C-alpha cells in the first residue's frame, strides 16, 4: 500500500551578509534604545548630583573594560555562538534588575547592560569580518546604522514617556528585543565563524594581542577615533538630560533630544556617499571638527537652554558621521587570522570611553558646572580632528 506523504518543506537559513548583520544590529539597538535615556534619569534621581552619577559610571566603565579584556580568554573555552547568546542573556538580566527591583539595583543593571554589550560587540565584529568582504565594509557600516535608525530615533523618547506611565514597560520592551535578536541570530546559523587555518599549536594567550595591536598604527588610529567618538556620545547621552533637568525643563527633554539625534542615522547613506567621494580621512576630520565646534558654541548659549540644546543636537549629526567612518581604519586593516582577538582589543574603546568620559566630567565638574563639560569635550573633539589629519589619505579607496 502506497502512502501519500506531504513534501517536507525546509526553510533555509538567511544568508549571512550586510542585511543580516544590519537586522541583528537593529535588534540590539531596540534592546538598548528604550533604556538609554531612562538610566541617566533614574541614576540622577537616585544619587542627586551629576558628580555622583559620574563616579558610578566610572566604576561601571571599569567593570566593562575588565570584562572586555577577558572575553578572548572566555572565547577559548566557550563557542562563539554560545558566547553571543550569553551576552544577550546578561542584557536581559540587566533589564530585570533595573525594572523589577529596588532603585538601588539600577547601577548593577547598567553594569550588566555594559557587560552584555561588550560580549555582543566582540562576537558581532568577528562575525562581520568573517562574512563581509573588505570592499563592502563601508556599506555594511552604513546599512547597520540605517537599520538601527528607527529604534534609535523612537526608543529614547518613548522610553522616558513610558517610564512616567509605567516604570517597567521600557524594560519589558528591551527584554523582548533581546529575545528577537537571539531568535534571528540562531536562524542565521553563523556557528563559531569561519575557520581561517587549522591550528597547529595551542592558541596564544589573547592578552598577548594587546601589545601586537598597539604596534599597528592603523589599528590604534581606529581604536582612538572610536574611543573619542564614543566619549562624545557618552557625554551627550548622560549630561544633556541632566543639563535639561537642572535648567528647569522636563525630564522627557533628554529622551526627545536623543531621539532627534538618532534620527540622523537615516542620513547615513548620504554620509557614505560623502565618504566615498572624498576619503575616510576627510570624513573623520569633518566629524570631529564639526561636533567639537558645535559643542563649544552650545556652551556660549548655555544660559538659554532651548537654543543650547538645539546646537547640541546639531553636533550629533557629525557624531553620526563618525559612527560611519571612525571604525573603518580597524575593519579595513585587521588580519583575518587575528580577528577574534583583535576585535576583543578593539571593542575596549566603548569601555575606555565609559570610564574616561565620566572621569573626565568629574574632573571638569570640580571647577565648573555641567555647561562647562560641553566646552571641555568640544575642545577635545577639535583636537581629535587635528590628530585625524595624519590618517593615510588612501585608506578605504578601491585598489586598481
Phi-psi region of 248 (alpha: psi -120 to 50; beta: other; left: phi over 0): left
- Distance, in Å, from the CA atom of 284 to the CA atom of 385, rounded to the nearest integer, reads 7
Of the pLDDT bands very low, low, confident and very high (cuts 50, 70, 90), residue 193 is: low
| Residue 223 phi, psi dihedral angles, 5° rounding | -65, -45
Q: What is the pLDDT of residue 294?
A: 95
When pLDDT is cut at 50, 70 and 90, the band that residue 164 belongs to is confident
Burial of 398 (0-12, 13-18, 19+ CB in 10 A): exposed
The neighbour count for residue 347, using CB atoms within 10 Å, is 28
Q: If you write DSSP's letter for every residue of 193-224 in order, what string do you get?
A: ----S--SSPPPPGGGHHHHHHT-HHHHHHHH
Is residue 5 a part of any domain in this protein? no
- Regarding predicted confidence, which is higher, 83 or 41? 83
Most confident of 29-38, 147-156, 376-385: 376-385
Calpha distance 181→124 (Å, rounded): 12
The region of weakest confidence among 4-8, 25-29, 62-66 is: 4-8
* Residue of 237, 253, 259, 252 lying closest to 153 (CA atoms): 259
The yes-or-no verdict on residue 156 having pLDDT over 90 is: no
Look at residue 136 in the predicted model and tell me its pLDDT. 66
150 near 99, Cβ under 8 Å?
no
Backbone angles phi, psi at 80, to 5 degrees: -60, -35
What is the number of structural domains in the chain?
Answer: 1
Selection from 12, 116, 109, 115 nearest residue 65 by Cα: 115
Q: Is residue 93 part of a domain?
A: yes
Tell whether 400 is covered by a domain. no
User: Is a pLDDT exceeding 50 seen at residue 197?
Assistant: no
Q: List the domain range (segments joined by +) for residue 228.
A: 18-192+207-388
Looking at the domain assignment, is residue 214 inside a domain? Answer: yes
In the structure, what pLDDT confidence band is assigned to residue 337 with cuts at 50, 70 and 90?
Answer: low
In whole angstroms, what separates CA 204 from the centre of its chain? 28
Residue range 207-226, pLDDT digits in tens: 566 777 777 777 788 888 88
Dihedral sign from CA coordinates of 335, 381, 140, 185: positive
> Domain for residue 1, yes or no?
no
Which pLDDT belongs to residue 203? 45
Q: Is the pLDDT of residue 200 over 50?
A: no
54 pLDDT above the threshold of 50: yes
Predicted confidence at residue 196, as pLDDT, reads: 38
Assigned domain for 398 exists = no
CB 332 within 8 A of CB 228: no
Residue 200 lies in a domain: no
Q: How many CB atoms lie within 10 A of CB 64?
A: 27
CATH of the domain at 248: 1.20.1250.20
Q: How far apart are the first and last CA of the chain?
A: 66
pLDDT of residue 307: 92
- Summarize the confidence of residues 325-340 as an average pLDDT: 72
Provide the pLDDT for residue 400. Answer: 44
Burial of residue 28 (number of CB atoms within 10 Å: 0-12, 13-18, 19+): buried
Q: For residues 383 and 136, what is the distance between their CA atoms, to the nearest angstrom?
A: 30
Burial 284-315 (b: 16+ CB within 10 A, else e): bbbbbbbbbbbbbbbbebbeebeebbebbbbb
Instruction: Say whether pLDDT at 194 is over 70.
Output: no
- Kindly give the residue spans of alpha helices, DSSP state H, lying in 8-136: 18-36, 38-47, 50-75, 80-100, 106-131
pLDDT band at 1 (very low <50, low <70, confident <90, very high): very low
Residue 323 corresponds to which cell in the numbers above?
A: 559612527
Residue range 341-400, pLDDT digits in tens: 676 677 778 778 878 888 888 888 888 887 888 999 999 999 999 988 887 766 655 554
- The pLDDT of residue 295: 95
Statement: residue 201 has pLDDT above 70: no
Looking at residue 324, its pLDDT comes to: 83
Q: Is residue 295 part of a domain?
A: yes
Tell me what pLDDT residue 386 has: 92
Distance CA 180, CA 178 (A): 5
> How large a percentage of the chain has pLDDT more than 70?
85
Query: In terms of Cα–Cα distance, which of 285, 290, 260 is closest to 275?
Result: 285
Q: What is the pLDDT of residues 90-147, one digit of tens each?
A: 999 999 988 887 777 888 888 898 889 888 888 887 788 777 776 666 676 777 777 8
What is the overall mean pLDDT for the chain?
80
Distance separating alpha carbons of residues 28 and 44, to the nearest angstrom: 25
199 pLDDT exceeds 60? no
Amino acid at each position: 500500500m502506497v502512502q501519500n506523504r506531504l513534501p517536507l518543506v525546509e526553510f533555509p537559513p538567511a544568508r549571512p551578509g550586510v542585511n543580516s548583520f544590519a537586522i541583528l544590529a537593529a535588534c540590539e539597538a531596540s534592546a538598548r534604545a528604550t533604556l538609554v535615556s531612562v538610566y541617566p534619569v533614574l541614576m540622577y534621581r537616585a544619587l542627586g548630583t551629576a558628580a555622583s552619577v559620574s563616579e558610578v559610571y566610572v566604576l561601571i566603565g571599569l567593570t566593562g573594560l575588565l570584562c572586555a579584556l577577558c572575553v578572548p580568554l572566555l572565547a577559548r573555552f566557550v563557542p562563539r555562538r554560545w558566547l553571543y547568546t550569553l551576552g544577550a542573556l546578561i542584557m536581559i538580566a540587566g533589564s530585570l534588575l533595573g525594572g523589577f527591583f529596588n532603585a538601588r539595583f539600577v547601577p548593577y543593571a547598567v553594569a550588566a547592560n555594559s557587560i552584555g554589550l561588550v560580549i555582543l560587540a566582540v562576537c558581532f565584529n568577528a562575525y562581520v569580518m568573517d562574512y563581509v568582504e573588505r570592499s563592502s565594509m563601508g556599506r555594511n557600516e552604513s546599512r547597520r546604522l540605517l537599520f538601527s535608525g528607527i529604534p534609535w530615533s523612537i526608543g529614547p523618547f518613548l522610553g522616558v514617556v513610558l517610564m512616567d506611565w509605567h516604570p517597567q514597560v521600557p524594560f519589558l520592551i528591551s527584554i523582548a528585543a533581546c529575545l528577537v535578536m537571539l531568535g534571528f541570530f540562531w536562524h542565521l546559523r553563523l556557528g563559531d565563524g569561519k575557520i581561517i587555518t587549522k591550528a597547529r599549536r595551542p592558541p596564544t594567550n589573547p592578552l598577548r594581542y594587546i601589545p601586537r595591536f598597539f604596534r599597528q598604527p592603523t589599528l590604534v588610529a581606529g581604536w582612538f577615533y572610536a574611543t573619542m567618538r564614543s566619549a562624545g556620545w557618552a557625554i551627550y547621552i548622560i549630561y544633556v538630560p541632566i543639563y535639561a533637568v537642572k535648567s528647569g525643563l522636563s525630564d522627557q527633554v533628554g529622551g526627545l533630544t536623543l531621539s532627534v539625534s538618532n534620527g540622523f542615522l537615516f542620513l547615513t547613506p548620504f554620509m557614505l556617499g560623502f565618504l566615498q567621494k572624498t576619503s575616510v580621512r576627510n570624513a573623520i576630520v569633518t566629524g570631529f571638527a564639526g561636533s567639537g565646534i558645535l559643542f563649544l558654541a552650545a556652551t556660549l548659549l548655555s544660559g538659554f537652554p532651548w537654543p543650547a540644546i538645539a546646537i547640541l543636537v546639531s553636533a550629533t549629526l557629525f557624531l553620526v558621521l563618525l559612527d560611519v567612518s571612525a571604525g573603518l581604519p580597524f575593519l579595513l586593516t585587521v588580519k583575518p587570522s587575528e580577528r577574534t582577538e583583535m576585535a576583543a582589543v578593539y571593542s575596549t574603546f566603548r569601555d575606555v570611553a565609559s570610564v574616561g568620559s565620566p572621569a573626565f566630567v568629574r574632573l571638569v565638574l570640580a571647577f565648573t558646572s555641567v555647561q562647562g563639560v560641553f566646552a571641555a569635550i568640544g575642545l577635545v573633539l577639535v583636537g581629535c580632528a587635528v590628530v585625524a589629519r595624519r590618517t593615510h589619505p588612501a585608506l578605504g579607496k578601491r585598489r586598481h
